[in-house]
Amino acid sequence: MRKIGVVIPACNEELEIANCLQALERARQYFYQHQSQTKNIDIEILVVLDSCTDRTLEIIKTYNVSMISCTYRCVGQTRDLGIRYLIEQGCDWICCTDADSRVSLDWFTSMLKHQPTHVICGVVEIAEWQHLSDATRQDYLSHYQDRTGHRHIHGANLCFRASSYLALGGFKAMPCHEDVDLVKRAEKIGLHISWSNQLRVITSSRLNSRVDEGFSRFLRVIEQENLHEYSSESALRKIV
């Protein structure tokens, strides 16, 4: 590992991007302070602006990050564009996260502990539960495997060797689940995958996102089902 690259796709993320970049900068400085001087590993953070019409660009200009733009409106294509750009810049280890997510302080240092490996799939924590029902929180926590050996795949917390990414042919031009597709292909050809809960990311629990599928929809479906069940029970009690 000589240079780490982080790619963040962003489409109108003016409300979230600052927290994302601040967390990454804290993690980058923590890594520089704690890594062995002989390693001399650099970290480049890249935001890929996809069809932004809000203040996202204005905000990221105030941070020590790189940026490129596209008009794909497709997260698979957007991630792939950013990753290939970072590889051209000499990055041999690639990290993916999302604009509405915040990496942990030891995110980069934890990656070193898992070497050698081809892919690391980390875990996510929900940032806030206040706007969701208790039933949804309980359903989610009972489903989620926050442990080593989990089988969750999150584009908000996914890392891999650049050479492995190229061997796999990269992310496909998919509007969602490009992360799952990539890891499944990695499994199929026998790459070593570390399923770790040491790499942690806090992610938004918003119910509406820039894509039709994905984590936001997963939470939204659970919440709608629980609210419908609650409404049905309330109506039944009134009838009885």
Q: Please write the tens of the pLDDT for every residue from 51-75.
A: 999 999 999 999 999 999 999 999 9
Per the model's pLDDT, the better-predicted residue between 156 and 223 turns out to be 156
Per the model's pLDDT, the better-predicted residue between 187 and 240 turns out to be 187
Over 90: is that where the pLDDT of 145 sits? yes
Q: What is the pLDDT of residue 128?
A: 78
Over 90: is that where the pLDDT of 238 sits? no
Q: What is the pLDDT of residue 124?
A: 95
Q: What is the pLDDT of residue 107?
A: 98
Q: What is the pLDDT of residue 201?
A: 98
Domain-located, residue 225: no
Q: What is the pLDDT of residue 112?
A: 93
Whole-number Å distance between alpha carbons of 78 and 233? 44
Share of the chain above pLDDT 70, in %: 84
Task: Estimate to the nearest angstrom the gap between the alpha carbon of 69 and the chain centroid.
Answer: 19
CATH number of the domain that residue 70 is part of: 3.90.550.10
pLDDT in tens, 3-22: 999 999 999 999 999 999 99
Structural domain tally of the chain?
1
| DSSP structural state of residue 41 | -
Compute the average pLDDT of residues 140-154: 92
Domain-located, residue 231: no
Q: What is the pLDDT of residue 39?
A: 72
Domain-located, residue 228: no
pLDDT in tens, 31-49: 999 887 547 899 999 999 9
Pairing of β 193-203 and β 158-161? unpaired
Q: What is the pLDDT of residue 232?
A: 31
Domain-located, residue 229: no
Domain-located, residue 174: yes
Domain-located, residue 125: yes
Compute the average pLDDT of residues 100-105: 97
- Mean residue pLDDT across the chain: 88
Give the contacts of 124 (CB within 8 A, at least 6 positions apart).
101, 152, 154, 156, 157, 200, 201, 202, 203, 215
- Cβ pair 207, 219 in contact under 8 A: yes
Domain-located, residue 120: yes
Q: What is the pLDDT of residue 214?
A: 58
Q: Where in the sequence is the domain holding 152, given as residue range(s)? A: 3-132+144-209
In this prediction, residue 239 has a pLDDT band, given cuts at 50, 70 and 90, of very low
Give the contacts of 74 (CB within 8 A, at least 6 positions apart).
50, 173, 174, 175
